């Protein structure tokens, strides 16, 4: 009989954590003069109605996946997005504080969206230099990336040979992709609300297995 060599099918290495990063659904719009409530200094808007629909679509796609745990951040838009899936899975969320969104200093509470739309010079510098610290009072890129890395490694250490979901933020996904691939910090900024990004973490090595999957949203 002729020996056959089939194409390789990827399997995470023994001891690795398979982490699905889910960006929260669309949140409430920013309105000049009406800042979002703050949570530990971070803008904390609720989900927009469209974000609630995205959360249901996320749950419909993931409800049969055998997740060992579901993580959220300190900000309610991640909890609200995770809620339909948690109900299906009968799991309680685990909070990972270090995966909260980048602290935007003087521009938190919705001001960042307004300044970005206006193409404020500080926003343009931040974008060009991949440096959050160009925004007045904001975390630096190094500070933000450092805590995102710490949060991801903490989850990976707790879940060897398991699959978990982490409901996070657009900036966090960009930081994770930068850590895993070595590209500049904001290269992957803009993952769609409700989208999936998959990381496999083994020790301190992170491998990207998918980015901005939004088939369930189209």
Give residue 139's pLDDT.
Answer: 98
Domains with residue ranges and CATH for the chain: 17-102+140-217 (3.40.50.1240)
pLDDT, tens digit, 9 for 90 and up, residues 154-171: 999 999 999 999 999 999
Give the 3-state secondary structure of residue 142.
Answer: helix
**pLDDT tier at 218, thresholds 50, 70, 90:** confident
Cβ–Cβ under 8 Å, residues 213 and 197? yes
Region 27-40: mean pLDDT is 96
Cβ–Cβ under 8 Å, residues 171 and 143? no
**pLDDT tier at 86, thresholds 50, 70, 90:** very high
Place of tokens 């933020």: 169
Tell me the two tokens of residue 57.
């679509």
Give residue 203's pLDDT.
Answer: 96
Neighbouring C-beta atoms of residue 176, cutoff 10 Å: 28
């Amino acid at each position: 009989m002729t020996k056959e060599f089939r194409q390789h099918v990827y399997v995470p290495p023994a001891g690795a954590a398979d982490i699905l990063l889910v960006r929260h659904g669309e949140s409430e719009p920013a309105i000049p003069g009406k800042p979002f409530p703050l949570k530990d200094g971070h803008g904390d808007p609720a989900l927009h109605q469209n974000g609630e629909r995205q959360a249901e679509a996320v749950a419909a796609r993931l409800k049969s996946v055998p997740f060992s745990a579901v993580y959220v951040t300190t900000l309610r838009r991640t909890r609200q997005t995770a809620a339909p899936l948690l109900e299906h899975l009968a799991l309680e969320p685990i909070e990972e504080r270090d995966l909260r969104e980048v602290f935007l200093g003087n521009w938190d509470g919705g001001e960042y969206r307004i300044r970005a739309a206006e193409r404020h010079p500080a926003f343009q510098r931040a974008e060009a230099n991949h440096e959050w610290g160009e925004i007045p009072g904001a975390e630096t890129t190094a500070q933000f990336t450092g805590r995102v890395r710490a949060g991801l490694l903490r989850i990976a250490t707790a879940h060897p040979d398991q699959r978990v979901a982490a409901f996070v933020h657009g900036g966090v996904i960009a930081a994770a992709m930068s850590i895993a691939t070595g590209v500049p910090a904001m290269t992957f900024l803009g993952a769609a609300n409700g989208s999936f990004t998959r990381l496999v973490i083994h020790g301190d090595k992170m491998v990207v297995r998918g980015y901005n999957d939004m088939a369930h949203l189209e």
